[in-house]
Homo-oligomer: A and B are copies of this chain.
Amino acid sequence: MLTREDNETLTRIGPGTPMGELMRRFWMPFLLREELPHPDCPPLRVTLLGEQYVAFRDSAGRVGLLDRFCPHRRADLYFARNEECGLRCVYHGWKFDVDGNVLDMPAEPPDTPLKREVKACAYPTFEAGGIVWAYLGDPAQKPPRPPELEWTLVPDSHSFVTKRLQESNYAQAVEGGIDSSHVSILHSRLDPAKAGQPFRQRQISINQKVPYLASDTSPKFFVRDTDYGMVIGARRNAGDDAYYWRITQFLMPFYTMIARTIEDGPILGHAWTPIDDHHTWTFTMTWNPLRPLAEHERDPSVAVHAPVADDGSFAPLLNKRNGYGLDREIQRLNSSTGIEGIGMQDAAIQESMGPIVDRSKETLASSDAAIVAYRRLMLKKARELREGKPPQAPAHPEWYRVRSAGIVLKKGIDFQQGAAHRLALT
Q: Which residues of A contact B (CB under 8 A)?
A: 40, 42, 69, 71-76, 78-79, 81, 83-84, 88, 90-93, 104-110, 112, 114, 118, 175, 181-182, 184-186, 198-200, 217-219, 326, 328, 331-332, 336-337, 339, 345, 348-349, 352-354, 357-359, 361-368, 371
Question: Which of B69, B328, B365 is A108 in contact with, Cβ under 8 Å?
Answer: B365
Q: Is the interface of A mostly helix, strand, loop or mixed?
A: loop
A92 adjacent to B182 (CB under 8 Å): yes
The distance in angstroms between the C-alpha atoms of A219 and B93, with both chains bound, is 14
**Residue in A73, A81, A353, A367 with the greatest tally of chain B CB atoms within 10 Å:** A73
Question: Which of B91, B182, B332 is A91 in contact with, Cβ under 8 Å?
Answer: B182
* A237 → chain B closest CB, angstroms: 12
Question: Which of B40, B90, B108, B348 is A349 in contact with, Cβ under 8 Å?
Answer: B90
Which residues does chain B contribute within 8 Å of A105, judged by CB atoms?
Answer: 365
Given contacts A358-B74, A365-B72, contact A106 B218 (CB under 8 A): yes
Which residues does chain B contribute within 8 Å of A104, judged by CB atoms?
Answer: 200
B185 adjacent to A353 (CB under 8 Å): no
Which residues does chain B contribute within 8 Å of A74, judged by CB atoms?
Answer: 353-354, 357-359, 361-362
Given contacts A79-B349, A352-B78, A365-B72, contact A185 B90 (CB under 8 A): yes
Question: Which of B73, B218, B359 is A357 in contact with, Cβ under 8 Å?
Answer: B73
Which residues does chain B contribute within 8 Å of A365, judged by CB atoms?
Answer: 72, 92, 105, 107-108, 112, 114
B107 adjacent to A76 (CB under 8 Å): no
**6 more A-B residue pairs beyond the given contacts A84-B199, A108-B365, with a C-beta to C-beta distance below 8 A:** A69-B358, A75-B349, A88-B199, A90-B337, A91-B182, A107-B181
Closest 4 CB pairs of A and B: A76-B352, A93-B185, A107-B367, A106-B217
A367 adjacent to B337 (CB under 8 Å): no
The distance in angstroms between the C-alpha atoms of A71 and B361, with both chains bound, is 7
A112 adjacent to B366 (CB under 8 Å): yes
Which residues does chain B contribute within 8 Å of A93, judged by CB atoms?
Answer: 184-185, 199, 217
Q: List 10 A-B contacts (CB under 8 A).
A: A71-B362, A76-B352, A76-B353, A79-B337, A79-B348, A92-B365, A104-B200, A108-B367, A114-B363, A114-B365
